[in-house]
Amino acid sequence: MLYGIAFYLFAMVLVGSAIAVITAKNPVHSVLFLILAFFNAAGLMVLLGAEFIAMLLVIVYVGAVAVLFLFVVMMMDVSFADLRSGAMKYVPIGVVVGGVLLFELVIIYSGWKFSDAMELANPNDISLTNTEALGHILYTKYFFIFQMSGLVLLVAMIGAIVLTLRKRSGVKRQKIYEQVNRKASDVIEIHKVTPGTGV
Amino acid sequence: MIDLALDGYMSALPEIFLALSGLVFLIAGVFRGNSGTTFLCYSAAFAFVFSLILLAGVNTGEAFSDLFIMDDFARYIKVIILLGAIASVVYAASFLKDEQIFRFEYPVLMIFAVVGMMVMVSANDLLTVYLGLELSSLSLYVLAAIHRESIKSSEAGLKYFVLGAISSGFILFGCSLIYGFAGATNFDDISVLLSGDNSLNIGVIFGMVFILSGLAFKISAVPFHMWTPDVYEGAPTSVTAFFAIVPKIAAIALIIRILFEVFPSMSEQWQQVVVFISVASMAIGAFGAIAQKNIKRLMAYSSIGNMGYALIGVAAATQNGVYSVLVYVTIYMVMTVGVFGIIMCMRKRGYAAESISDLSGLSKNSPVMAYGMAILMFSLSGIPPMAGFFGKFMIFEAAVNAEMYILAVIGVLLSVVAAYYYLRVIKIMFFDEAEDRFDCDIAFSRRAMIAISVILIVAFIFYPNIVFDGAMSASLALFPK
């Protein structure tokens, strides 16, 4: 009973806030609704017993991604109303493509049948929480995958630096050593000015 | 229970060595700054050479709890990838100096891209496929945009990134469908599960088609080819050369491995898809190139067409077909190395000249380069004594042996159309009025690469067996007796 109420509550708020993300006029509101959607999705994951994924959703998506979005939206000087103005003319073709894809996916999902070998994917040891169970295979069986992901992240970091870091000339910086060592004689010139002639 | 899955890590020694040298070069670059770019390019070339030596010694077998496989097929493709990478990084060293693009990250990103491709070729699990693919693609996106001052380079990087991300999405969606229906991500497990008749589920077919579409993007086969001309034109020429020479070989090897190791029982289903992609790529490659004025765009359409020919061999779905694809991509790689070397030599008064008409009168201004280019163009169009002819011949032979006569006939007809624009380049070089000469201070390393490429194309007539034997043992590895 309580489970059912919680499920429908999370699910309805999730769908509602997801719709609000794409319909809200103000992009800041969109991002805030996105955060609400992530929280509710995390709630659904907890109900399914996948507490690790719930944790990831909150930490990674709410904690990092959504905050980054908010940051970008507030920093960027882009008029979202202008961006959106031409979008309506793509709606018909979007609906057609989306409809065809949805129809096709409904057809395959209606024929859904798990292979008999599906039990292979179940954890061997039921007593472990799923965070522990994932930890056991992530750092052992999938050690290679873990290292490869590390390389992918490194390349992403190098890429971000390569494409954005630039040395600007003429930027005023604090150089404490030079500032303290400045002598009045180096920077001030004293001129004798005779009246009526100027410098 | 808690054991690190390091079993058989010696099979991945070349990849491990390359990844570590990439990290070392990154640190070296950070300390030395952009002035060390040329030095790092040559160091990367030596790392590739050393990795080739390591590759000769590694044992075959599965590693890292079956996520990774090293067999003769992977070894052959990795040799081709490393040779292509050596040529591209040597080109990059002199090109970056010509264009004054000094960025030490360039060779580092190339090394990581090559590591990703080598992992792709050795993938024995959908997870390994995805991570290898992502590692190489991510490095390539950044390389395409590495010339930040050029608007075209930024445009190329952005287009490639957006479309590449969509294709990665296709592949992931396909993987999830296959995992959902088969319950496994390991290639051995999936192929065993699919070999029973009742499990031939429509969901798995959907997943396979999604993966195939994503990989067709990576080899720029036709419905997914839109990015190729723009990215080839916009990216710095040494990056374009790298794109044309290396990643497509890795992607086509991955297509072969997935189709022949995971879905051999579904060959009737995927043959239709591959035949369509192949015919469409050959047609667009042949007709699209005719109107091109920029030589890099011409090479983009040429590569679309050539991937179409390679896919004929895949569509044959026989061991002979795979063998012919391997020979074909090897020869194609060598020809592309030569052609891009010459494109990089097209400089007038310190600026790159990229229009095809800039080549006019080359036979009078620098006859050696003109004859080299002529040999390469004859070979690309498949005119008999050159190596390119044997590649095409074997592909068509495989199609005929698999009783796909119509496909073979379409291929031959379209290669006649494609011959037009290759021969047009020769006509412009030899019969048009001479224009300004190209700058003649060409780096020795670039001359050497072009010479090696042309010599190999001609020497192939006398010593074809080196390629044939390697390709034969590689293709046999996919067809257990």
Per-residue pLDDT reduced to its tens digit, B164-219: 999 999 999 999 988 887 778 899 888 888 877 555 677 788 889 999 999 999 99
The C-alpha R_g of chain B, in whole angstroms, comes to: 21
Q: What are phi and psi of B69, to 5 degrees?
A: -130, 135
- The Cα of A121 is separated from the nearest Cα of chain B by a number of Å equal to 7
CB B396 within 8 A of CB B389: no
- Residue B4 and residue A139: Cβ atoms within 8 Å? yes
- Residue A117 and residue B183: Cβ atoms within 8 Å? yes
* Alpha carbon distance B426, B342 (integer Å): 13
- Residue A151 and residue B115: Cβ atoms within 8 Å? yes
Residue of chain B nearest A104, judged by CA positions: B206
Residues of A in contact with B8 (CB under 8 A): none
Residues of B in contact with A112 (CB under 8 A): 180-181, 203
- Residue B181 and residue A113: Cβ atoms within 8 Å? yes
Chain A / chain B CB contacts < 8 angstroms: 110
Of B19, B65, B141, the CB nearest to A141: B65
Of A117, A141, A158, the CB nearest to B109: A158
CB A14 within 8 A of CB A37: yes
Of A86 and A26, more confident: A26
Predicted pLDDT at B357 = 87
Residues of B in contact with A120 (CB under 8 A): 183-184, 189
Q: Is residue A101 packed enough to be buried (19+ CB in 10 Å), middle (13-18) or exposed (0-12)?
A: exposed
Question: Could you tell me how many helices (H) and strands (E) chain B has, helices first?
Answer: 20, 4
- Of B28, B23, B49, nearest to B40 by C-alpha is B28
Work out the mean pLDDT of chain B and round it to a whole number.
90
- Confidence bin at A18 (pLDDT 50/70/90): very high
- Residue B132 and residue A145: Cβ atoms within 8 Å? no
Mutation to test the A interface, candidates B112, B155, B172, B204, most A Cβ within 10 Å: B112
A50-93: pLDDT as tens digits: 889 999 999 998 888 888 888 888 887 766 667 667 777 888 89
Predicted pLDDT at B199 = 54
Predicted pLDDT at A80 = 66
**Residues constituting chain B:** 481
What is the ipTM for the molecules in this complex? 0.91
B134-153: pLDDT as tens digits: 999 999 999 999 988 889 99
- Residue B183 and residue A156: Cβ atoms within 8 Å? no
Predicted pLDDT at B141 = 94
Predicted pLDDT at B161 = 94
* Alpha carbon distance A33, A10 (integer Å): 14
Residues of B in contact with A163 (CB under 8 A): 142, 145, 148, 157
H runs (alpha helix) in B183-266? 187-195, 202-218, 227-234, 237-245, 247-257
Which secondary structure element, helix H or strand E, spans residue B347, and what is its range?
Answer: strand B347-348
- Confidence bin at B481 (pLDDT 50/70/90): low
The CB-side HSE value for B264 (13 A sphere, CA atoms) comes to 14
- Residue B109 and residue A117: Cβ atoms within 8 Å? no
DSSP string, B109-134: HHHHHHHHHHHHHTB-BHHHHHHHHH
Mutation to test the B interface, candidates A134, A148, A158, A168, most B Cβ within 10 Å: A148
- Residue A162 and residue B109: Cβ atoms within 8 Å? yes
Query: Which of A35-49, A81-95, A155-169, B259-273 has the weakest average pLDDT?
Result: A81-95
* Alpha carbon distance B23, B140 (integer Å): 17
Predicted pLDDT at A118 = 54
Residues of A in contact with B116 (CB under 8 A): 151
| Residues A25, A31, A37, A40, Cα dihedral to 10° | -130
- Residue B131 and residue A145: Cβ atoms within 8 Å? yes
- The Cα of A149 is separated from the nearest Cα of chain B by a number of Å equal to 7
User: Is the Cα torsion angle B88, B477, B167, B135 positive or negative in sign?
Assistant: negative
- Residue B5 and residue A158: Cβ atoms within 8 Å? no
B72-96: pLDDT as tens digits: 999 999 999 999 999 999 999 999 9
Phi-psi region of A182 (alpha: psi -120 to 50; beta: other; left: phi over 0): beta
B344-369: pLDDT as tens digits: 988 888 788 888 888 888 888 888 99
Residues whose CB is less than 8 angstroms from the CB of residue B65 and which lie 6 or more positions away in sequence, other chains included? A141, A142, A144, B5, B7
Mutation to test the A interface, candidates B13, B126, B127, most A Cβ within 10 Å: B127
Residues of B in contact with A132 (CB under 8 A): none
**β pairing state of B68-70 and B347-348:** unpaired
Predicted pLDDT at B200 = 60
* Alpha carbon distance B423, B374 (integer Å): 8
| Residues B472, B473, B478, B481, Cα dihedral to 10° | 100
Mutation to test the B interface, candidates A115, A128, A157, A158, most B Cβ within 10 Å: A115
- Of B224, B249, B247, nearest to B235 by C-alpha is B247
Residues whose CB is less than 8 angstroms from the CB of residue B478 and which lie 6 or more positions away in sequence, other chains included? B71, B73, B256, B257, B260, B261, B319, B322
